[in-house]
Chain A
Amino acid sequence: QKEVEQNSGPLSVPEGAIASLNCTYSDRGSQSFFWYRQYSGKSPELIMSIYSNGDKEDGRFTAQLNKASQYVSLLIRDSQPSDSATYLCAGKDNNNDMRFGAGTRLTVKP
C-alpha cells in the first residue's frame, strides 16, 4: 500500500511564529505533491503544489521537497489564528493517483 504519513498533531504555535508541518511518503515513484488546508467541517482547499526538489514560496507559505529522503514539508511564516486548521499532504504516484495523509491539526494561539 502506498502511504503518505503525517504527524496528526495537534501542533500548537503562538501567533507570529513559524509553523512547520512534515510529511513522508513511501512510493518513490511519486512525482508531485500538494498541501491542502481543511477547516473543521469544510472541504480541502489547495494552498501549495510542488513538483521539483527544493523550496517553493508563495506569500507566507513555503513548501519543501526532498525526493531522496521522500520528505515534504510546509512552513507557515508569521502564523495567524486564521491558519488554525488541518493540513493535508498529498502525493501523486506514476499513475497520477492521489494519496492523502490523514492531516496535521494546527492551532495558532493569539
Chain B
Amino acid sequence: DAMVIQNPRYQVTQFGKPVTLSCSQTLNHNVMYWYQQKSSQAPKLLFHYYDKDFNNEADTPDNFQSRRPNTSFCFLDIRSPGLGDAAMYLCATSLTKNYEQYFGPGTRLTVT
C-alpha cells in the first residue's frame, strides 16, 4: 500500500543534543510538509518542499532545518532541542499544493 512512513515513532533526546527525524513516502507526491503539534493544539506548519523548492514558514525557529535529498525522503533536523520542542512531529504529503494532504503516523519527541 502507498503510504507515508515516519521513523522513529518515538524519540528521546537530551537538551541541546541534535536529533534527526525522517519521513519517507511511496505516494510519489511532489510536496512534503513538516508540522509540529503540541497537546490540544492545531498542527503548526514548519516548512514544506515543493519538489526541491524549500519553503520556510516565517515563524519557524532557525533551530529547525530540513533536507529533501530525493522525492521519497525528507528529514527534519533539530540542531539544539529545547524543552519547548517536545511535541509530535508530523510529516505530510500532497500530490501538488492544491490537493489534500496525507499524514504519516508522527514522531513523538521527548526532550530531557
Chain A residues packing against B (C-beta within 8 Å): 4, 8, 32, 34, 36, 41-46, 49, 88, 92, 96-98, 100-103
Contacts and interface: CB of A to CB of B under 8 A. Distances in A.
A43 B108 CA distance: 10
B103 interface: yes
Nearest to B44: A100
Interface of B: 33, 40-43, 45, 88, 90, 97-98, 100-106, 108
A10 B65 CA distance: 36
Contacts of B103: 36, 43-46
Contacts of B105: 42-43
Nearest to B98: A96
A102 B98 contact: no
Contacts of B40: 8, 102-103
Contacts of A103: 40, 42
Contact of B42 (A34, A49, A97, A100): A100
B101 A102 contact: no
A43 B90 contact: yes
B98 A43 contact: no
B41 A102 contact: yes
Nearest to B50: A96
B43 to A, nearest CB: 5
Contacts of A45: 103
Contact of B100 (A46, A88, A97, A102): A46
Nearest to A4: B42
B97 A42 contact: no
Contacts of B42: 4, 88, 100-103
A42 B103 CA distance: 10
B86 to A, nearest CB: 14
